[in-house]
Structures are given as structure tokens and as C-alpha cells.
Amino acid sequence: MLPYEGIEEFVERIHRKISDKTGLEGDLVGIWYNAFVANACLRDDIVQYDDIKEYVQELLLFLDDDTTKNKEKYTNYINATLPSVLEIFEEKKLIDYQMIETGEMLPRLIGYNYLNDPEFYVPYRKKGDTEWSSRISRNTENKILINYLAKGYEFKENNLVEKILN
């Protein structure tokens, strides 16, 4: 069971849009592409390999009915699968590579990012800041969070707080 009512439909809509925008299907959408989007840096869209691996492992453990939660099984799967996933994403022009300060080449998400899609998420920032520093799900049911954010933050979409709370 996912955390709140309506989340399954929300996730299904996101997955359909990812498929439409990228041509990806199945686990490439539900597991791998989500890992890239969820871990892409807000400022430059660079993704750390360890973040991808950890995200995929946590998702697979969450979905696994096996109560032993064998992490090694998933570590082997992730390490074996990631290179082909990177190749597919690069061929489809969903990622490229960028050198960071340490000289390491890391993947950078250049394809569709549902976190930047106003159909699903709304950017917000601290009042007085010039950069939109975070996002909130349009599907949120968490009125306590919305009330909290409304006191010190502003949303890119006008009247968002009133729409959610009323």
C-alpha cells in the first residue's frame, strides 16, 4: 500500500507520460528512469552513480515480498544492469555525460523530467529567494505540510495553497 489515497493513479500518470516522452517501457520507466529523475541535482541535473544504485535497491526491497530482503541479490542485479541502462538512455538522448570538479564523468539527465512538469509538481522557494529551490507534488494530501510551507515559502503557481486547502 502506498502512503496516501490517489498515489497509485498519480504514479501511473507519471509513468504513462514518461513512456510517451521517452519511448521507454516497463522497468526502464518504473525503476530506472525514476531513479535518474529522483536523483538528478536540482541545479545541473547531474546524477551520482551511488545515488542511482541506492534508489533502485531501496525500491526493489520495498517491492519484494521476500521477507529476507536479500540486498546482495539486488546489488548484483543493479551492477549487472546499470551499464546497459546507461547505454539505452544515452542512445535515446535521455542522458549525456558531464565532467565534475573531481574529473569524474557523471550522467546528466537531459530527457523528460516529470519533477519539472507543472502537470505533476509545483516549484517553491523561501520568501525573498530568487531561485526556485524545491518542488511539491500536485497530488499532495498533506495539509499540515502545505500550511507550514505557506508561512515561509512561496509557490510558483498563484493560489496553490488555497486550491489545495479548500
* 66: pLDDT strictly greater than 80: no
Number of neighbours of residue 53 by Cβ within 10 angstroms: 17
3-state secondary structure of 121: strand
* 78: pLDDT strictly greater than 70: yes
What is this structure's pTM?
0.78
- State residue 134's pLDDT score: 85
* 133: pLDDT strictly greater than 80: yes
Beta bridge partners of 6: none
What percentage of the chain carries pLDDT values higher than 90? 43
- The answer to which of 2-11, 16-25, 91-100, 102-111 has the lowest mean pLDDT is 2-11
Q: How far is CA 11 from CA 17, 120, 163, in A?
A: 10, 10, 21
- Among 57-71, 101-115, 123-137, 149-163, top mean pLDDT goes to 101-115
The Cα 125–Cα 113 span in angstroms is 19
* 4: pLDDT strictly greater than 70: no
- State residue 1's pLDDT score: 41
- State residue 36's pLDDT score: 93
- State residue 67's pLDDT score: 62
Q: pLDDT tens across 41-64, in order?
A: 878 899 999 999 999 998 888 887
